[in-house]
Structures are given as C-alpha cells and as structure tokens.
Chains A and B, each alone.
Chain A
Amino acid sequence: MSTYLDFEEPLKALEEQIAQTKEIGDSTDVDMADKVHALEQKLAEKTKEIFAGLTPWQRVQMSRHPDRPYSLAYINAISNNTFQELHGDRNVKDDKAMIGGFGLLDGETVMFIGQQKGINTKMRQYRNFGMPNPEGYRKALRLMKLAEKFGKPIVTFIDTPGAFPGLEAEERGQGEAIARNIYEMMRLKVPVICIIIGEGASGGALGIGVGDKVVMLENTWYSVISPESCSSILWRSWEFKETAAEALKLTSTDMKNNKLVDEVIIEPLNGAHRSQEEMFGIVKENIKNYLKELKAIAPEKRINDRIDKFCAMGVWE
C-alpha cells in the first residue's frame, strides 16, 4: 500500500476515483472511457500543480518518503541484478547501514557504495535507520581502495539522516573515520560519482560524498544539519523546522545555484517513489554519461580538478 504525504492527498483522492470509475466500467456495460480519460487528465494537471510548487520543507518530506527507493534498489536496477555485496571493514564488524560491492553497469565493473535504510520497521532497525557507525565508513573506504587498486570507477549513493551519534561510535572514532574518508576520497585515482538520492545530512553524508561529480536528485536535501536540529539549536524549539528548511537553502536547486553540487537530476513528475523504474533508468543514463566524460580526463588532472572544485566553495570578503 502506498503512503501519501499531506500535500499528496488530492492525488490519492483522484487516483481512487479513477480506480472506482474503471471498476464500474468493467463490471457494467456503461462506457466510462471518456470519464476515466478526463479524470486522468485532471490527475496529471494536479500532479504538475502540486510538485511544481513544493516548499523546501515539503522537499525534505519527499526525500524521506517511506515509498522512496533506497540505495540497494538503485544498485540492483542499475547493475541489472549483478551486484555482489561485499561485507566488513576487516576490523570491527559489518555495518548494515552502509553497503557496498562490485556490480556491472552494462558490462563494466563499477564499485557501488551507499547508505542503506530499511523498508519496514524490522529492517529499519537492522539498518540502524541509515546511520552508519565508524566501521561503515571504514568499510566504504576499504572498498573504494579496492576499486582504485583495480582501476574500477566508484559510484556512491547518499541517503542518511546523519552518522550515528552513539557511545561506541564515539569510542571507535566516528570523527576520524569520516575525516579519513573525506581526505582519501579527494585523492582517489579512479572516477568518483556521488549521488544524493534522499537525505544528505552533514558529515555523515560527506563521508562518502567527495567526488568528481556530486549530484542531487531533485527532491532531496543536503546540508550541514537537518532542519529539525537547526530549529532546535537556533530557535530553541522544534517548531521552526519549515523556517529552518528555507533558511538553510538545502534543496537541490539552491545547492546547485550556490555551486555546492555539480548537477540536479530531475525526477519523474510525481517523484522518484511513484515512478521508480523510470527513475532508475534516468540515474543509470546519467551515470553512464558522467563516466564517459570523466574517463576522458587523465587521473592526475581529475584529482586536481576535484580539489580545486571544493577549494572554490565559500564566500568571503
């Protein structure tokens, strides 16, 4: 069963109406085709109207939509189910909130890495809500180094509410793990593509987010803090999350305009979650194009370009 966010409700009503009308047409001899067609047109218009004017906070809600596909869904679709997951950081354990492994992208080996959220209550717990521990970042780095050693490009999928702020995470150096990843990713000799497919929360996202191409899907957010936490710190109340979402300029459009990400990948009109196959296809095409572009550049230059890109970020007087 699909879940509808409050601003998606009008669509739900229309979709139900269409289903009912179709049923009447099927069960009786009355020809409902015209009526269905009219309703479908109305649905298309309404969809356009709703999604064209999403506020930043609504986009944050979209990024967390329970029906939205997570990393594994993208990877399996893009690799045509050739993905072979590789586990463990070779030190402490296997972090279920971070996944990675080789897969084929139209015949070419690619290292896929991503934060993974759970699809139901039990899995959400198993995946720790997509919040990796240090060993998750260290597993990601191990796999990136593996890809580098064998000259395979890296694609990361970012979707996390943040790195896990637990006791053991601190003990095992959450800060060091993220810092090390940022530092090492900056110098990887192979092409690195990072795609924000849902939530891009702060250091937890950046820990697998340094690449030659950093792109955001349309209905995602990426910032230094979640709107809720920002509200609680700056306004000392959880009530200002909408205001905070606007102030943080965290949407894909704002991040692109501020030159903090390279590109925005436009989603199907009703969002990645309602037209998943179409979304996977779009993402796959984009990855292929980026890879083609990046492979034409010598590794040394690619690294320098990467560093220069991040060094140009910032505003001062």
Chain B
Amino acid sequence: MGWFKRDKEGITTSTKEKKETPEGLWHKCSNCKTVFTESDFVKNFYVCDRCSHHERIGSKEYFEILFDEGKFTELDANLSSGDPLKFEDTKKYVDRVKATQKSSGLKDAVRTAHGKLEGMDFVIAAMDFGFIGGSLGSVVGEKIARAIDKAIELKCPFMIISKSGGARMMEAGFSLMQMAKVSGKLGQLAENKLPYISFLTDPTTGGVTASFAMLGDLNIAEPKALIAFAGPRVVKETIGRDLPEGFQTSEFLLEHGFLDYIVDRTELKQTLATSLKMFNN
C-alpha cells in the first residue's frame, strides 16, 4: 500500500527545480493586481490599462518615451560619487555606492541627456529612485548643473523629472548645498529666457521639493504621485492625528495651487510638446 501513501512530509521539490513563470513575460499591476503581458504594459507606457496606476519607472524608460525614436545623447554618463566625509553608518558610504551601482547598473541617481522632442531640441535630467532612493548628492547636483549649461548652449528648453526621497544624508552638508547650486543654475537658465519644466513623479519629497522641483516655469506631475516637503509619516507624528484622504498627492497639490497640470503618462509626450511649442513659437 506504500506506493500511494506519502511517506515524506512537506514539499520536497527544491526551489531550483520549481517551474517559475519566466521573467519578463507577464506584469502584474501593483495596485489592482491585474495581469498583462509585459509587451502590452510597455506599449501602454508602464501604466495599468485597467486602473491607470502609473508604475514607477526610471530615466531609461522616460528617455525612451520622450525623445523622438528613443534617440538621445547622454551627458556626463561616467560622473560618479566621491566620499568627501568618509561617511559610515551601518555600512560604508563608498561600499553602498558601489553595491548600488552594481545592482542598478546606474552611476548615480540622475541621468541627463539631450535629444529631440517632436523635432525640438530638448535637455532632460531624469532621476532614478532605484539609486539610494533617488537621493540628491553632489553628482546629482553637478550633472543637473551641467545639463542646464547644455540647454543654455543649445538655446533649448530644459526639464527635470523629479523622483526622489530627498537629500542624500551620507553627503550631509554637500548634499544640502546642491539645492542652492541647482537653484542658482536655474536662475541663469531663466536669464537666458529658456523655459524650465519641472515634472514631478512619485515620489518627490524633501530637499528636492524644497528646491528645483517647485521652481518650474511649469510645474507638472503624474497622477497620484506623492509630493511633499515633510513626508506623511513625519507630518502625522507632528500633528498627532490621521492625515486626510489624498493628502500630499498630485491632485492635492493641484487643488492648492502648486501645479500647473497633471498629465497621464500615456499623453505625456504630446502634452509636453504642446506646452513647449507655446514657448518656442
């Protein structure tokens, strides 16, 4: 009788031998859990077709979406972080940077590039949340500053796609001063009468909100993005009660007068082109 009685308890198939769905074929919406094929998802700009949840994406995806035929020239691609303070918390900062560079394939939390958008010259700085929370450090500040110089050189509009947890603590004072640095540079852009579009995506908080993200000639945002100076947890602790529904979302900021408009990623390029033409005309 032993041949149909289970004589070993539990699941014995090793993890290695388990049949997994191959990576990259399917995407499950992180909001409504609907499953799509990856290609449909990409075609829909990484937005859920059902609940229109905007999945977080990085510089690579934004460049592909925005630049004509996905063609662009990257600026200062090799700039990478120093360790001015020899900072060490539970881990050395240099090790943290190296590990993140390896796992993310990125050099730091922003990539800058110039290319064309509907035939118009355009410079974009796009932040990557995957790199130490998209935190603002020396490299981010310097790359954005140089990208602004490029826009001035090309006499073209400039955009920053913000996606950041705020300042990079491991660069302490250096990080703080990047807020001043980028703001100073934006002043020079303004002096050259070149438009600056600040595009706020989920999440945009802390020192980024308190500097360049709020300084656009146009401030625009993706739907339902978290946009804050102090994060919801800190505010909740300060006031000692629950936060109202929808607090610190793009829609909340639009209502309170801090955004020009909210744009679906599916219509981003077209909407942006319309805006830019108004300036360029």
Chain A 201-219, CB within 8 Å of chain B: the 1/0 string? 0110011011000000000
Contact residues, B5-60 vs A (CB, 8 A): none
B100 within 8 A of A: no
Query: Contacting A314 at CB < 8 Å: which of B83, B87, B177?
Result: B177
State how many angstroms separate the Cβ of A163 from the closest Cβ of chain B: 7
Given A170-B230, A170-B247, A222-B173 in contact, is the A314-B180 Cβ separation under 8 Å?
Answer: no
- Whether, in the assembled complex, B184 has its beta carbon less than 8 Å from a beta carbon of chain A, the answer is yes
* Given known contacts A170-B247, A234-B89, A316 and B173 CB-to-CB distance under 8 angstroms: no
Contact yes or no, B209 A311, CB < 8 A: no
Q: CB-CB < 8 A to A313: which residues of B?
A: 138, 141, 174, 177-178, 180-181
User: Given A167-B239, A224-B167, A315-B138, are A235 and B187 also a contact pair (CB < 8 Å)?
Assistant: no
Which residues of B lie under 8 Å from residue A172 when comparing CB positions? 256
Q: Which of A10-18, A147-155, A174-182 contacts B (4 or more CB under 8 A)?
A: A174-182
Q: Interface size class for chain A?
A: 35 or more
Are A183 and B173 in contact, with the CB atoms below 8 A? no
Q: A242 vs B181: C-alpha distance in the bound complex, in angstroms?
A: 29
Q: Does B120 contact A (CB under 8 A)?
A: no
Q: Are B213 and A175 in contact (CB under 8 A)?
A: yes
Interface residues as binary, B258-275 with A (CB distance below 8 Å gives 1, 0 otherwise)? 100000000000000000
B residues 205-243 touching A (CB-CB < 8 Å):
206-207, 209-215, 228-230, 234-235, 238-239, 243
Neighbour of B138 across the interface among A163, A206, A314, CB < 8 A? A314
With A170-B248, A310-B180 as contacts: A187 and B169 at CB distance below 8 Å: no
* Nearest B-chain residue to A243, judged by Cβ: B89
In the complex, A173 has a CB within 8 A of chain B: yes
B81 in contact with A316 (CB, 8 Å): yes
B77 at the interface (CB under 8 A from A): no
Q: Which of B167, B184, B212 contacts A186 (CB 8 A)?
A: B184
Give min CB distance, B67 to chain A, whole Å: 25
Within 8 A of B (CB), among A212-262: 222-225, 230, 233-235, 244, 247-250, 254-255, 258, 260
Closest CB-CB distance, B122 to chain A, in whole Å?
A: 22
A249 to B93, CA, bound (A): 14
Q: Which residue of A lies closest to B168 (CB)?
A: A224
Task: Find residues 87-101 in chain B having any chain A CB closer than 8 Å to their own CB.
Answer: 87-90
Q: How distant is the Cα of A250 from the Cα of B188 in the complex, in angstroms? A: 30
Partner pick for A307 among B85, B188, B258, CB 8 A cutoff? B188
A306 to B181, CA, bound (A): 10
Between-chain CB contacts (< 8 Å), 7 pairs: A172-B256, A203-B210, A225-B167, A248-B169, A249-B85, A313-B178, A314-B138
A179-B213, A209-B180 given; 18 more Cβ-contact pairs under 8 Å: A163-B210, A163-B230, A170-B248, A174-B229, A176-B209, A176-B258, A178-B211, A187-B187, A203-B179, A203-B210, A224-B168, A247-B87, A247-B89, A248-B169, A258-B84, A313-B174, A314-B142, A316-B138
